[in-house]
Amino acid sequence: MATPLEPEPREECGVFGVWAPGEEVSKLTYYGLYALQHRGQEAAGISVADGQQIVVFKDLGLVSQVFDEQVLSSLRGHVAVGHCRYSTTGSTTWENAQPTFRTTRVGSGLSLGHNGNLVNTAELLERARAEGVLAGNGATTDSDLLAGLLAASAADRGLEQAALDLLPAIRGAFCLVFSDESTLYAARDPHGVRPLVLGRLSRGWVVASETAALDIVGASFVREVEPGELLAIDEGGLRSSRFANPSPKGCVFEFVYLARPDTTISGRSVHASRVDIGRRLAQEQPAEADLVIPVPESGTPAAIGYAQASGIPYGSGLVKNAYVGRTFIQPSQTIRQLGIRLKLNPLRDVIRGQRLVVVDDSIVRGNTQRALVRMLRESGAVEVHVRIASPPVRWPCFYGIDFASRAELIANGLDADGVRRSIGADTLGYVSLEGLISASEQPRSRLCSACFDGDYPIPLPDDATVGKFRLEGLNRGIGGSATPVLPAGYGAEEALQRP
């Protein structure tokens, strides 16, 4: 929703897949996506295959808005692919919702969900043109482009071999979950930028963006999908193939903000990492204060750690409205002018007369922190010391986080004291990159920290071919001409219009 405050950094999707004969795979996928809702709130979709056909249902909105009991009951089969979307390539339209669906020349189907962002999209587009697989279907995503290329070659070589041929040519961040009528596939880029895990059910297998999604469906964690690995799961069991040598560069910002705190990444609890970041932040950026309060919810674990290490009492000074930003209803001008109070409201009795340490996960443009500091002062805070559980964000992400452009990043043009003055805080302190990486318990060589240090592990093309709407600028459409099959009672137009 549009407000004077800029949104938090946002990950563009969550993916979920299940192969489980005899289970209600549509409902497993629904709850898996529910657990991944934080990764994308613009659109949601599920495809289910029964060995004969693939049925797809998707729409704009939250998982709970898109699906109900009637829809889920109509999605019957043993293979499912689920997706919840926040866009980093392509606009928020029904056509760009996922899973995306294609048919091959021999009539078999393909359903695909993608988490990440590609950097050689223009090159792949030229390949699609050369192979004659363009078709104007209204979609403008790199994910749709991948589906079209896969479907074009799957008719001759089969989907598994088509994937092994195509995946080495893809550059960027990608976790793919896709299926044909009978087999579930999952693939992770050679750098493993975005997380993807494998879980076991009593009668099947699950793949998901985060371990928290395994927990909610009762799947036991088996392992992470390895960077450069393609998994195939069918009645013959699980097969693993390598399409590239691994060169791990996991996103360190997953530990800061993107992942759920109850998720585990590379064997490290995200919650434990965030508490440890707070402890290190207190050691590196101490403050004389009466109370440590978090900016909920993402700042809470770090604030707990800061209080533990500093000896300053921890308290709740802000109440969050968890549902703001989860609606398509635009606020009136009067409401819009309230700004941050749409999201956060102060507990004045807690704040009044106090010297506060306010812990947040990151500063991107600075608008939210500026309004927050002003609100705390108006509520009676004597001093406001802002502490940030990540280093200054100076560089945009091209691998799947919708950050601002570099010109809009406040830390790109100002030093720490300049940012402090801009947001109106008494003091400002960031955790160091070394402290953040240490808290993740991952070797620095296995992490991507490009948004902090500008060191991009996957080479980028010219700026002209990188951007959220680059495919719309190229005015293209990719893939087969067949329309996905929708559940009985729902046509494409009805799906478009559902709330």
Q: Which residues contact 277 (CB under 8 A, 6 or more apart)?
A: 255, 256, 301, 302, 305, 389, 390, 431, 435, 436, 439
Residue 169, number of CB atoms within 10 A of its CB: 12
Strand partners, 114: 176
What residue ranges in 374-464 does DSSP mark as E strands?
383-388, 427-430, 447-448
Nearest to 275 by CA among 304, 316, 311, 314: 304
The residue length of the chain stands at: 499
Q: Which residues contact 43 (CB under 8 A, 6 or more apart)?
A: 58, 59, 60, 61, 66, 83, 84, 85, 92, 94, 96, 97, 98
Q: What are phi and psi of 462, to 5 degrees?
A: -60, 150
Number of H helices, E strands in the chain: 19, 23
* Residue 84 falls in the annotated catalytic set: no
Q: How far apart are CA 314 and CA 282, in angstroms?
A: 13
Residue 414 is encoded by which pair of tokens?
């100002």
Among the listed residues 13, 84, 175, 397, the single catalytic one is 13
Q: 36 with 213: CB under 8 angstroms?
A: yes
Q: The tokens 């209803």 sit on which residue? A: 329
Sheet containing 184-188, strands listed edge to edge, beginning at the edge strand earlier in sequence: 100-103, 109-118, 172-179, 184-188, 229-234, 237-242
Q: 399 with 173: CB under 8 angstroms?
A: yes
The b/e string for 462-498 (b: 16+ C-beta within 10 A; e otherwise) is eeebbbeebbbeeebbbbbeeebebbeeeeeeebeee
Q: 5 with 331: CB under 8 angstroms?
A: no
- Residues assigned a catalytic role: 13
